[in-house]
Every structure is written in structure tokens, then in C-alpha cells.
């Protein structure tokens, strides 16, 4: 296996025609999964459905699934030997069907199953063994997610972060593949190698490590400029929209800020965060930030890679945890989000749970019942639809209310020579009274303690 380091895995794209935009044919895939003893049927089914959505997002057509209950994964090839044989036979029959079809109609392209999607992250050797045994390319849950991230990354920062995650994922797999390639994989490296005595796989591994280090440096530089931006914003209330992928965070971001955050009915549409002002503007002025969506078993490398994006959530003073109210697996979604927030140390940030998409229930009685049910279960939550203007107004009010509670009353006297601050007072404070006399103007106002401190500092100068 060759590793092209400028573009991390072109071979990945060659091997995966789905990722090659020039091929218009919809590739077919089979989902396979082991249900471990501690996983309930509901949880298992919802995970399978989610993998189906991920596959769809990637442009694959899922043509079937093979599942199996076991107390642990088969150490050799994830599924038991009998199940592997069943899959192999199924694939063989699909293959011969499509070959017949192809012979019958020369216009028809071969349409056999090209991928096996495994609903867990499996080891490099399990993947290769399974692949060899069933004769079809294996993609585990992690690589599916990584691929979606790779496609959706738009900014330079997101691209670099995804590249690090992909390289970290690929490194042990390249080693395993090189090991199996036998003498060829172990040949002495020639020109461009790092001296004699190193195997091809060692050289590749070293290149991967070098590339990761190089990318990490880029991240560090970007981090430093992010920190500067953050410290410039310090003291300004920041609300972060967090939650499961596709819950409607970007839609709410758009509605709350009157901007054009990317909204799409696909998983992981948003990979970059943007900070915007809550609109209409409030006192105090509130900033709103979108974040990357979470998912069950978000690959660890990705959590780490997107830590800087998620740090936005950490530096927020309020989290809006957006949940798709129409999702039957919403409890699992809540659990996953809570877990990731705890992992990045954001569990102590105050939060409001926002159940979105209630319009999916088109019957008014059903909606009322659902709202009552959710409010009883999650006290203090909001249940709404991002598509209703009134609901957005309510959400806006709820956000502003949180910050207005933090306002303190204060007074300031500005001599006529310092009237330049008047505009600032009106922009950042709720002015309760303004009185003028021969020496200047007196203001009574409410503002955040930070603003009060800054104004008194400026007026003393
Ligand atoms: N019916 C309905 N659809 C909604 C609502 N809010 C969002 N959607 C749709 O849900 C899909 C996902 O919305 P996004 O705002 O992109 O979701 P997200 O949470 O930002 O998703 P990621 O960026 O992938 O994490 C889009 O097709 C939206 O139009 C809602 O209140 N009602
Ligand atoms: Mg989004």
C-alpha cells in the first residue's frame, strides 16, 4: 500500500469509488454487526439505523444486513466463522446474479456489493481477515465517519484536523497491510528511505508520524490565533449550540442570528464553528456559536482533533443542548452529548435542553402531549420547532433572560469631555435614567459586572 502524503489517502479514494465523484453509479453495501450481551435490542437497532444513515450520507445503497448475538467480538474476524461463511455465500450469489445480468444486457454495469460496513471500530487484522474471507472491502464505523468528516471539512482548520484523524487511523492499518504483503512489504527501502535496515512499513510509519507532527504545528498556530480571538471576546456572553448531529443546531443558529449557517439534512454538515451575534441584539450583547455534531462512538481521534472546535463549548457561558424531539433514540443522543461534554470538561457549563423539530408531530394533541411528557422528564427544557418564528422568539427571550439575570444596577457620571462613552453605554447597557446638568450627564443603568468595571475604568481616564 502506498501512502501519498500530500493528499493523505488518494489510494483510499481509488479503492472507494463512492468517494470518486466521477463515478455516478451508486455503490452497494452490506451492514454487518455483532450485538453484544449488554446491548438492548432497541439500542442495537438504533445504532444499525444510524449506520444506515451514515452510509446514505456517504452515497451508498445499503442492500442488506447480517447481525449476530455474541458475548464478545471474534478476535480473528469480528463475526463468528458460520456468519462469515453466510456472508461470503450471499456475496457470491449477488455477484453471480449481477454477472448474469451483465451478460444479458451489455448496457448494465456490474452492480454487486462493494462494501461491508461494520457497526464497530475493529482492529486492522480483524478488518483484513474479514475482507479476505468474504472477498469484499470492509469499512468500519470509524472509517465511515472519518470519510464523512473528510468530505464536509471546508475550512483549512477543519481539513487539517480531519487529516490528522485519518492519518492516525490509517497508520496501524498500513503497518498491518505491509506486514501481510510479505517480502515486498518488508523489502529494504531504496532511494528516499531513511537509511538501510528499515522496512517499507517503518518508513511509511515514520512519514505518517512526520506528517502528523507537521499538521499538529499548523493546528497550534491556528489555536494561538483562536485564543487571541477568544480573549478579545472575553467577558462577552457566549452561547454554544451543541448536540447530536442533524438535531438542527445550524438551523437554530441561522434563526437566532439571522445568518447563513450551513444547514443540510445529512450527518456532520457542520465541522467549523462560527461566532455570530444574537439578533435582534440584546443587552447584554450575546454571541452565538455553532459546533460540530456528536455521534455515538465518535472516533476518539476525532474528539481529540475537534477539541479546539469543541472548546468553543467550553468557553461558553451557556450551552443550548439541541435534541431532535422526533428521534426515538433521543435518550441515547442526550447521553452521548452529555458524555462528550463531560469528556471535554464542559459539563459544569449551565445548559438549556432544547427539543427541536416538534413540528414533525403534525397533530396538535400529540404535540401537546409530547411537550408535557418532555417537560416532566427534563425540567426547564424548551420544546420547539426551528421553523416557527414564535418559537425562535421564545428561545431568544430565554437566552436573553439568562444573561439579564446577571445584570447589576450601577451609575456613572460623564463630564461633557467624556461624552464619547455615551454610545458605548447605550450599546452595552440597559439605560434606566439619563439626566444632564451643566457639568455633564448622569446615567443609571443595568449591565454585566464586566461592562460596569470597564465603563468605570474608562470614565476615570
Ligand atoms: N421539520 C423540521 N426540520 C428541521 C428543524 N430544524 C432543523 N430541521 C432540518 O434538519 C436537518 C438538519 O439540520 P441542521 O441544522 O443542519 O442540523 P445540525 O444539528 O446543524 O447538523 P450537523 O451540522 O450535521 O451536526 C435539516 O434538513 C433541517 O432543515 C425543525 O424544527 N423542523
Ligand atoms: Mg450543523
State the CATH number of the domain containing residue 79. 3.40.50.11060
Say if strands 238-243 and 287-289 run parallel, antiparallel, or are unpaired.
parallel
Indicate whether 218 belongs to any domain. Answer: yes
**CB 247 less than 6 A from any atom of ligand 1:** yes
Distance CA 88, CA 68 (A): 15
**CB 53 less than 6 A from any atom of ligand 1:** no
Instruction: Evaluate whether 55 touches 119 at the Cβ level (below 8 Å).
Output: no
CA of 249 relative to ligand 2 center, distance in Å: 5
Indicate whether 412 belongs to any domain. Answer: yes
**CB 274 less than 6 A from any atom of ligand 1:** no
Residues 265 and 378 in one domain: yes
Q: Which one of 245, 251, 310, 358 would you pick to mutate in the ligand 1 pocket, going by the greatest count of ligand atoms within 8 A of its CB?
A: 251
Phi then psi dihedrals of residue 182, to 5 deg:
70, -145
In the listed set 205, 229, 253, which residue is the last one of a domain according to the structure? 229
Indicate whether 29 belongs to any domain. Answer: yes
Residues 242 and 388 in one domain: yes
Flag whether pLDDT at 350 surpasses 70: yes
CA of 268 relative to ligand 2 center, distance in Å: 7
Of all atoms in ligand 1, which is nearest to the CA of residue 251? 15
CA of 255 relative to ligand 2 center, distance in Å: 13
**CB 26 less than 6 A from any atom of ligand 1:** no
Flag whether pLDDT at 234 surpasses 50: yes
Residues 257 and 312 in one domain: yes
User: What is the per-residue pLDDT for 441?
Assistant: 92
CA of 95 relative to ligand 1 center, distance in Å: 38
Distance CA 133, CA 90 (A): 13
Which one, of 269, 255, 287, lies nearest residue 386 by Cα? 255
**CB 250 less than 6 A from any atom of ligand 1:** yes
State pLDDT tens for residues 433-442: 999 998 889 9
Residues 396 and 416 in one domain: no
State pLDDT tens for residues 97-109: 655 555 555 444 4
Residues 418 and 375 in one domain: no
Instruction: Evaluate whether 236 touches 118 at the Cβ level (below 8 Å).
Output: no
State the CATH number of the domain containing residue 352. 3.40.50.300
**CB 357 less than 6 A from any atom of ligand 1:** yes
- Residues lying with their CB under 5 A of ligand 2, a single-atom ion: 249-250, 269-270
**CB 264 less than 6 A from any atom of ligand 1:** yes
User: What is the per-residue pLDDT for 175?
Assistant: 83
User: What is the per-residue pLDDT for 205?
Assistant: 78
Indicate whether 2 belongs to any domain. Answer: no
User: What is the per-residue pLDDT for 100?
Assistant: 58
Flag whether pLDDT at 444 surpasses 60: yes
Q: Which of 183-192, 193-202, 363-372 has the lowest mean pLDDT?
A: 183-192
Residues 247 and 379 in one domain: yes
Flag whether pLDDT at 285 surpasses 80: yes
Residues 146 and 164 in one domain: no
Q: Which domain holds residue 194?
A: 156-229
User: What is the per-residue pLDDT for 423?
Assistant: 86
In the listed set 229, 264, 292, which residue is the last one of a domain according to the structure? 229
Flag whether pLDDT at 17 surpasses 60: no
Residues 253 and 306 in one domain: yes
Q: Let me know the angle formed at the C-alpha of 335 by 333 and 339, rounded to the nearest 5 degrees.
A: 120
Instruction: Evaluate whether 265 touches 147 at the Cβ level (below 8 Å).
Output: no
Residue 18's Cβ-count burial label (10 Å; 0-12, 13-18, 19+) is buried
- 233 compared with 186, residue with greater pLDDT: 233
pTM of the model: 0.79
Indicate whether 99 belongs to any domain. Answer: yes
Point out which residues pair with 178 in neighbouring strands: none
Flag whether pLDDT at 61 surpasses 60: yes
State pLDDT tens for residues 253-281: 999 998 766 666 666 666 666 788 898 88
Quick check: helix, strand or coil at residue 105?
coil
Q: Which of 3-17, 79-93, 131-145, 393-407 has the lowest mean pLDDT?
A: 3-17
Residues 117 and 171 in one domain: no
**CB 323 less than 6 A from any atom of ligand 1:** no
Distance CA 38, CA 32 (A): 18
Q: pLDDT grade, residue 191 (50/70/90)?
A: very low
Mean pLDDT of the chain: 82
Residues 56 and 132 in one domain: yes
In the listed set 229, 254, 278, which residue is the last one of a domain according to the structure? 229
Residues 355 and 303 in one domain: yes
- 426 compared with 271, residue with greater pLDDT: 426
Mean pLDDT, to the nearest integer, of 385-402? 96
Of all atoms in ligand 1, which is nearest to the CA of residue 253? 15
Q: Which three cell numbers stand for residue 125?
A: 487484522
Flag whether pLDDT at 295 surpasses 90: no
**CB 273 less than 6 A from any atom of ligand 1:** no
- Report the number of secondary-structure helices (H) and strands (E) in the chain: 15, 13
218-221 contacts, C-beta under 8 A, 24 or more apart: 218/160, 219/157, 219/160, 219/161, 219/164, 219/308
Instruction: Evaluate whether 385 touches 358 at the Cβ level (below 8 Å).
Output: yes
Distance CA 199, CA 189 (A): 6
Distance CA 348, CA 100 (A): 61
Which one, of 139, 352, 146, 375, lies nearest residue 268 by Cα? 146
**CB 269 less than 6 A from any atom of ligand 1:** yes
Indicate whether 5 belongs to any domain. Answer: no
Indicate whether 260 belongs to any domain. Answer: yes
CA 168, chain centre distance (Å): 18
Q: Which one of 50, 57, 246 would you pick to mutate in the ligand 1 pocket, going by the greatest count of ligand atoms within 8 A of its CB?
A: 246
Indicate whether 4 belongs to any domain. Answer: no
- 50 compared with 24, residue with greater pLDDT: 50
Q: What order of strands is seen across the sheet that includes strand 238-243?
A: 275-277, 287-289, 238-243, 318-324, 351-356, 382-383
Total domain count, the chain:
4
Residues 32 and 80 in one domain: yes
Of all atoms in ligand 1, which is nearest to the CA of residue 252? 15
User: What is the per-residue pLDDT for 174?
Assistant: 83
Top mean-pLDDT range of 70-74, 316-320, 329-333 = 70-74
Amino acid at each position: 500500500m502506498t501512502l501519498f502524503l500530500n493528499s493523505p489517502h488518494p489510494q483510499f479514494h481509488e479503492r472507494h469509488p463512492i468517494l470518486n465523484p466521477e463515478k455516478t453509479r451508486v455503490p452497494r453495501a452490506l451492514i454487518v454487526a455483532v450485538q453484544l450481551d449488554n446491548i438492548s435490542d432497541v439500542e442495537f437497532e438504533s445504532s444499525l439505523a444510524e449506520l444506515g444513515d451514515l452510509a446514505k450520507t456517504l452515497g451508498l445503497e445499503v442492500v442488506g444486513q447480517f447481525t449476530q448475538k455474541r458475548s464478545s467480538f471474534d478476535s480473528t474476524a469480528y463475526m463468528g466463522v458460520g456468519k462469515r461463511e453466510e456472508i461470503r455465500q450471499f456475496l457470491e450469489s449477488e455477484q453471480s446474479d449481477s454477472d448474469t445480468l451483465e451478460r444479458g444486457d451489455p448496457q448494465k454495469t456490474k452492480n454487486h456489493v462493494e462494501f461491508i460496513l461494520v457497526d464497530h471500530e475493529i482492529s486492522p487484522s480483524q478488518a483484513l481477515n474479514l475482507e479476505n474471507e468474504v472477498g469484499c472491502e470492509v469499512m468500519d464505523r470509524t472509517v465511515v465517519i472519518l470519510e464523512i468528516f473528510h468530505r464536509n471539512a471546508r475550512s483549512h482548520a477543519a481539513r487539517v484536523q480531519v487529516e490528522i484523524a485519518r492519518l492516525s487511523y490509517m497508520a496501524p492499518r498500513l503497518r498491518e497491510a505491509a506486514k501481510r504483503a510479505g517480502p515486498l512489504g518488508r523489502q529494504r527501502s531504496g532511494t528516499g528511505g531513511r537509511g538501510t535496515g528499515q522496512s517499507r512499513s517503518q518508513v511509511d510509519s515514520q512519514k505518517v508520524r512526520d506528517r502528523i507532527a507537521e499538521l499538529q504545528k499548523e493546528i497550534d498556530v491556528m489555536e494561538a490565533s483562536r485564543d487571541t480571538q477568544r480573549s478579545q471576546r472575553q467577558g462577552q456572553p457566549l452561547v454554544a449550540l451543541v448536540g447530536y448531529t442533524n438535531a438542527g443546531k445550524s438551523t437554530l443558529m441561522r434563526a437566532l442570528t439571522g445568518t447563513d449557517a450551513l444547514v443540510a439534512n445529512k450527518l456532520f454538515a457542520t465541522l467549523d464553528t462560527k461566532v455570530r451575534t444574537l439578533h435582534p441584539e440584546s443587552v447584554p450583547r450575546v454571541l452565538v456559536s455553532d459546533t460540530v455534531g456528536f455521534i455515538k462512538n465518535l472516533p476518539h481521534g476525532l474528539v481529540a482533533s475537534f477539541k479546539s472546535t469543541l472548546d468553543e463549548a467550553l468557553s461558553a457561558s451557556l450551552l443550548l443542548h439541541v435534541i431532535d424531539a422526533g428521534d426515538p433514540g433521543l435518550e441515547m443522543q442526550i447521553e452521548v452529548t452529555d458524555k462528550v461534554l463531560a469528556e471535554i470538561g464542559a459539563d459544569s457549563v449551565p445548559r438549556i435542553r432544547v427539543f427541536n423539530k416538534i413540528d414533525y408531530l403534525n397533530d396538535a394533541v400529540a404535540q401537546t402531549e409530547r411537550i408535557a411528557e418532555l417537560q416532566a422528564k427534563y425540567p426547564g427544557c424548551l420544546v420547539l420547532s426551528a421553523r416557527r418564528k414564535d418559537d425562535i422568539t421564545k428561545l431568544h427571550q430565554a437566552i436573553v433572560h439568562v444573561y439579564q439575570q446577571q445584570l447589576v444596577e450601577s451609575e456613572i457620571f460623564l463630564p461633557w469631555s467624556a461624552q464619547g462613552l455615551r454610545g458605548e453605554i447605550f450599546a452595552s447597557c440597559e439605560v434606566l435614567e439619563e439626566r444632564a446638568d451643566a457639568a455633564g450627564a448622569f446615567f443609571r443603568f443595568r449591565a454585566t459586572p464586566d461592562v460596569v468595571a470597564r465603563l468605570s475604568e474608562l470614565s476615570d481616564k
